[in-house]
Amino acid sequence: MQMRLICVFGILAIGSLLKADEVVGPLVGSVSSNSVQMLFRPSAKAQTLRLQIFDDNGQLVKVVSSDCAAEKDFVAHFAISGLQPATTYEYQIERIGDSSKVLVKAGPAHQFTTATQQRTGERVVVSFVSCVDVEPTEIWNEMEKLEVDAVCLMGDTPYIDSSDLEVARKKHRQFLQMPDLARLGQTTSVVGSWDDHDFGKNNGNGLNFLEGKSQTRRAFVDYRAHDRYGNGREGVYHKMDMGALEIFFLDPRYFSQTEPSPVDATQPTCFGRQQWAWLLQGLRDSKAKFKVLAMGAIWQDKKNSETDDMFTYWYERDALLDFIKEEQISGVTLLGGDIHVARHLKHPDRVGYDLHDFIISPGHERTITGLDVYHPSLLWSLVEGRQFLMLTADTRGDKPSLTAEFRQPQGRVNRRVVLKLDELTPKVRRPDLSKELRAHWDFNKGLKNKSLLGGRIDAQSHGGASIDQTQQARGGSVRFQRSKGQYLNVPQSFLDDNSPAHTVSMWFKPASLPKRGTGDRCFLLESTAQGKASDKQAWHLSLGLRATADPGKVNLQLYTVTLQPAASPGAAPKPVSQGPFDFLVDREQLRDRWNHVAFTFDSESLCMFLNGNLAATHALPVKGPAAEFGGLVIGGHRAGTGRNFDGWIDEVAVWQRLLDQDEITGLSKLPR
C-alpha cells in the first residue's frame, strides 16, 4: 500500500509539473575533449540568454549567447568550444535585455565534465536505454547513482507517433521534464538517436513517412543538444568521442527506402549514401580503443511482420561488417533496441574476431515475449522491463576491456560480460587451408570441432553413432548405422548470417546405397533450423544420395535455401528453397569405397566436386545469399532420423570462403 501511494503521488507530481511548467533543461548534450553542447527553454516566449562557464576556481572562462526563438520552440542552443580536456566546469544562465535575471545559478547542480583526449589510462561509463515513455521510472536515479558519463537515448524515447510538429515538440518537452531525467541532464551528457515511434510512425521508414519526417526531425533537433544532426538538413546521425570509447549514433529511419543502396544499386538503402560514407570514414579514422555502432533498430531479423530491422537490408549490414573485417578495425560492438526484449548475441569470427551484439529494451514495463526469437548467435535474453545497458571502457591497465552490464534499478545486474581488447582484435591468419576455416570435425579421437570456433560447435552423437578406428580416410571416422537411426548433431551454426560464399568438404564410404528403382534416399548432411533436429525448412546445406531409374546410377543431390530480395518497396526478403540439383554417379564408384565430395556456394551457383574434379555446376534460379540456419545434422537429414546414411563419414569441414580447384584437389588426396 505504501509503495502504491508513493507511485500515485509521483504520477500526480509529474502530471502537475508537465501542465504548469514549460521549462526544459538546462540539458547537457554532446561533449568532446574541448567542447560541450547545451540547451535550455526557460518559457514559451522569445528572449535572449547568456551562458557563462566557470572553472574550478570560479573564474569565468567562456561566455556565449543564444536566442529563444519561436521557430525553435523557444529553445536556446549553446555551443561552447575552447575548453580543456577532462575538466569539470560549472555554468550559469542569465536572461539578458530589459529584464535581466539569473535563471540558472552556477553550482554543483549545474556542471559538466569534458571528455578526455587520452586513449589509455582512462575509464569511461556510458548507459543506453530505449523504449521509455513519459512515466515514472527509477532508471534515471539508478544511472545517477552509477555516475555514468553519458546517457544514450536509443529511440522510442519518447513515443510520439505523429507527424504534427506541435505534438512532437510537446512529447519531447514532457519527456525531458521528468524530474529525475531533468536533474540527471543538468550534469550528465544526454544524447542519442531515434527509432520508429519518435521518428513518428510505427515501422516507419523514409518512404512511408516521407511527408512527416521533416517535422519530427525538426522537433528532435529542437530538443537534443548534439554537435551534429545528420548531414545538417536530413537525418540525425552523429558520433561522440569519449577517449577510450567512441559511439556512432546511426539513423536507420530517415533515409531508408528513399534511394538505391550504396552497396547494391538494385536494392533500397537503409542508411543512405551520405550517412554510409560518413560512417565508413569515421570508422577508418577512429582512434578509440572501443567503438559502438548504436541504433534503435536491431541488426538481425525480428521475425515478425515488420521490416524495420537490418535483416531487411542484409546487403548493407553485411557490407559494413565486411568493411570492418577488411580494414582490420578492432574493438567494434553492435547495439540495438526496439523489440522490448534484452538480448546478447555473439556472431562468431564475423569481423576477424567475435562480434558482440547487445540489444537493450525496454526501459518501460511493456515487454513483447513473441520477439524473444531464436537466432543462431543468441547467448542470453531477458523478457523484463525497466532495463538499461551500462558499458564501461577501461584502458587503465595493460589489457583494456569493455564491460557490458544489463541492469535494472536497485542495483540489479542481470548479465555481465567482460570483453578484453585482445578478444576484439583481428587475429593473424596463415594463408593456407586454415584461412576462414569455420568448422572441422576430423573424427580422429572424438567428435570435437577443431576450428577456431572451438567447443560451441562440437558434434553430439544420437542413436549410438561412434568413432571407428578400423575404417578411415584420415585417422578415424564415424560409423553410422541406418537401421539404428544414427546421426550427429551440431547445435549451432558456424557461417556468417546470410553467408554469400562458402565451401563444404567431406569424405564418405557407404556400407549400403539407396535401393535401385525406389524413392529411397539418405543424407550425408543437412542444416537444421534451431540447432536441433527439426522438420522446419532450413536446408541451406543439404547433400544426399538418392536412387534413380537407372539401376547403375546413384543421384548425388544438392538442395539449398537462399534469401530472395524484397519484391516491393518496404517488403522483407524471404527464404526460398531451391533444388534438387542432381548429379548421377556410377554405383560401383561409390560402393564400399572412400570418396571425397565438396561443394561451393557463391550466391549464384552451387558447384560440386567429386574426388577433386569439378563434377557439376548448378546455377541458382533465384540468386541470393544463404538463408538462416541453426546447426547441422551429419549422417542424416534435418529431422535426424528417417533418411539416415549407412556407412562411414570422415573429415567434415566448412570454410567461410570459396576454395579454389587446387585446394579442393589437395583435400581429395588420401594419405599414402
Q: Which of 58, 80, 114 is the last residue of a domain?
A: 114
Grid cell in block for residue 259 = 534511394
Task: Identify whether residues 357 and 312 lie together within a single domain.
Answer: yes
Tell me what percent of the residues of the chain surpass a pLDDT of 70: 97
Per the CB < 8 A criterion, the answer to whether 382 and 341 are in contact is: yes
Q: How far apart are CA 11 and CA 21, in angstroms?
A: 15
Q: Which sign does the torsion angle of CA 32, 33, 34, 40 carry? A: positive
pLDDT in tens, 65-97: 999 999 999 999 999 999 999 999 999 999 998
Count of the separate structural domains present in the chain? 3
Task: Identify whether residues 529 and 584 lie together within a single domain.
Answer: yes
What is the structure's pLDDT at 14? Answer: 41
Task: Identify whether residues 162 and 240 lie together within a single domain.
Answer: yes
CATH number at residue 275: 3.60.21.70
Grid cell in block for residue 8 = 500515485
Task: Identify whether residues 513 and 623 lie together within a single domain.
Answer: yes
Above 80 in pLDDT, residue 308? yes
Task: Identify whether residues 484 and 376 lie together within a single domain.
Answer: no
Q: Which sign does the torsion angle of CA 508, 511, 514, 516 carry? A: positive
CATH number at residue 55: 2.60.40.380
Grid cell in block for residue 645 = 546414411
Section 639-668 average pLDDT: 96
Domain assignment of residue 672, yes or no: no
Average pLDDT, the chain: 94
Concatenating the DSSP letter of every residue in 581-643 gives E--EEEHHHHTTS-EEEEEEE-SSEEEEEETTEEEEEEE-SS---BPP--EEEESS-TTSSSS
Domain assignment of residue 533, yes or no: yes
Tell me the residue type at 378: L
CATH number at residue 495: 2.60.120.200
Q: Which domain does 464 fall in, by range?
A: 437-667
Task: Identify whether residues 259 and 344 lie together within a single domain.
Answer: yes
pLDDT in tens, 202-216: 999 999 999 999 999
pLDDT in tens, 376-434: 999 999 999 999 999 999 999 999 999 999 999 999 999 999 999 999 999 888 888 99
Q: What b/e string do you get for 490-502 counting C-beta neighbours within 10 Å, with b at 16 or more?
A: bbbbbbbbbbbbb
Domain assignment of residue 104, yes or no: yes
What is the structure's pLDDT at 217? Answer: 98
Above 60 in pLDDT, residue 5? no
What is the structure's pLDDT at 672? Answer: 61
Q: How far apart are CA 120 and CA 288, in angstroms?
A: 9
pLDDT in tens, 140-159: 999 999 999 999 999 999 99
Contacts (Cβ under 8 Å, ≥6 apart) of 547 = 513, 514, 515, 516, 517, 518, 519, 520, 521, 554, 555
